[in-house]
Homo-oligomer: A and B are copies of this chain.
Amino acid sequence: MSTQKRQLRLGAFLSTSGHHLASWRHPEAQADAGLNFQHYKRLAQTAERGKFDMIFFADGVAVRQRGQGGDVLSRNGKLVHFEPLTLLSALSVVTENIGLTATVSTTYNEPYHLARKFASLDYLSGGRAGWNLVTSATEAEALNFNRENHMEHTLRYERAREFVDVVTKLWDSWEDDAFLHDKESGIYFDPDKVHTPNHKGEHFSVRGPLNVARPIQGYPVIIQAGSSEDGKNLAAQTAEVIFTAQQTLAEAQAFYADVKGRLAQYGRSPDHLKIMPGVFPVIGKTEQEAKDKFHRIQELIDPVVGLNLLGTMIGGFDLSGYPLDGPVPDLPETNGGKSRQKLLIDLARRENLTIRELYLSIAGARGHRQILGTPEQIADQLEDWFVNDGADGFNIMPPLLPGSLDEFVDLVIPELQRRGLFRTEYEASTLRENLGLPRPVNQFTKVADRQVANV
């Protein structure tokens, strides 16, 4: 195995009827996808057939575009959907190897609940859980949790750092070999191998221990997506996977070098953080077929929806007063997702796009990289970034579900496998092992015990 090429990591980003904004209107779309378990079961099993490392669910704790008028809102097919931890738990039963990952916010949750749910999912799935840590970026979420407005960016990240600290302490409450189950003596566990974290910090006071054993993976895999300075530092300190949005190889390389370069100061190896940009693939037998496919789905975007999407993505501005076919105006910085606003404005300036052109250009991939082409062309693009230090793998965001995922698994995966870039079988039973990540040492295990264990 040591002579094997470095392997691509792949995540399947599964969003209702597809990542494209108008996907639900497509003739082949599952229009009620968000609350249809059979739909998600089929997707998860397809991704597993393709040997994806993991499936991934984005999430938020609000109707995301609340506050828009009914005319915009009523055209949105993504507002209602399963809560991801319940959905992943159900999917754990109908899959065997694929990682099960989802977004949960540190701003509107308590560490005890979060540590417990992911530990529980890790046991249900035999070690396949992963947590995408976000700090949330919308005021709509604040208003559902007793707050008047969204917590300020820096404060959110301070809370997130402490949150991870508490959660990992809770996951370490029980040592791996704490449970004896000794029916004869009546001793269920070794009391020296349970630890009470007794955390008292700035944001949290949490005694513990957790009422779930240490997760099978030690810790579920920790994923992050922030690209701000705070986000990159938090990721360098705590994340094992980063989902990121990068448009060009040069940008991707800069981001890759930047984040990997931050790991040493936390005593971490660059190999132990996998950087996976989002990719929105439109696959055709020919390049023209791919373009035609894309055009057909773009035509399904109502202008009122496109304009609203753009306004939301650049930080909550109402752009309806500006001419649709005029330039994108200069905008002040916001408290929301800073990095995403900058990304979009840069794109408009670089390609000299009008407001309409900008919303059309992002409505598909929404800030992520679009690749239109044949399976070989798509594989070429992925390989290019992968071998040139732009990515360790990709988070694949199929435009239409289930169709575009089927195509990726049936056409692109075999091409990647032929090139020796991607597995043909799972290497192991846990997500952590499949990703090639080390199992964390329990922070409460005595150093003497660890040395003995290492002998």
- Which residues of A line the B interface, CB within 8 A? 22, 24-27, 29, 31-32, 35, 37, 60-64, 66, 70-71, 73-77, 79-83, 85-87, 89-90, 92-94, 108-110, 112-113, 116-117, 119-121, 123-124, 140, 143-147, 174, 179, 181, 183, 186-192, 194, 196, 204-213, 300, 302, 305
In the complex, A300→B116 CA distance in Å? 30
- Interface contact A61-B116, CB-CB below 8 Å: yes
- Interface contact A140-B90, CB-CB below 8 Å: no
In the complex, A137→B24 CA distance in Å? 46
Selected from B77, B79, B89, B187, the residue in CB contact (under 8 A) with A86 is B89
- Interface contact B191-A144, CB-CB below 8 Å: no
- Interface contact A143-B207, CB-CB below 8 Å: yes
Selected from B73, B123, B208, the residue in CB contact (under 8 A) with A37 is B123
**A208 surroundings in chain B (CB, below 8 A):** 63, 144
**22 CB < 8 A contacts A-B:** A31-B183, A37-B123, A61-B113, A63-B209, A63-B211, A70-B191, A74-B191, A75-B187, A75-B188, A77-B181, A79-B189, A80-B211, A82-B120, A82-B124, A85-B86, A86-B117, A86-B124, A89-B90, A90-B92, A112-B144, A144-B207, A186-B300
**A75 surroundings in chain B (CB, below 8 A):** 186-188
- Interface contact B27-A183, CB-CB below 8 Å: yes
- Interface contact B183-A24, CB-CB below 8 Å: yes
In the complex, A24→B207 CA distance in Å? 27
- Interface contact A81-B37, CB-CB below 8 Å: no
Besides A79-B188, A90-B124, 16 other A-B contacts (C-beta < 8 A): A22-B186, A26-B183, A31-B181, A32-B179, A63-B208, A70-B192, A80-B174, A81-B212, A82-B123, A85-B85, A86-B86, A90-B93, A109-B113, A110-B146, A146-B205, A146-B206
**A305 surroundings in chain B (CB, below 8 A):** 186
**This chain's copy number in the assembly:** 2
**A206 surroundings in chain B (CB, below 8 A):** 143-146
- Interface contact A209-B86, CB-CB below 8 Å: no
Give the one of A61, A77, A86, A191 with max B CB within 10 A.
A86
Selected from B32, B121, B186, the residue in CB contact (under 8 A) with A181 is B32
In the complex, A410→B175 CA distance in Å? 40
Provided the pairs A27-B183, A31-B181 are in contact, do residues A189 and B90 lie with their beta carbons within 8 angstroms? no
- Interface contact B213-A146, CB-CB below 8 Å: no
Q: Name the 8 nearest CB pairs between A and B, nearest first.
A: A70-B191, A89-B89, A143-B207, A83-B120, A31-B181, A86-B89, A93-B93, A86-B120
**A92 surroundings in chain B (CB, below 8 A):** 90
Give the one of A109, A120, A146, A205 with max B CB within 10 A.
A120
Give the one of A147, A183, A187 with max B CB within 10 A.
A183
Q: How far does the Cβ of A139 sit from chain B's closest Cβ, in whole Å?
A: 10
In the complex, A76→B209 CA distance in Å? 15
In the complex, A258→B61 CA distance in Å? 40
Q: A29 — nearest CB in chain B belongs to which residue? A: B183
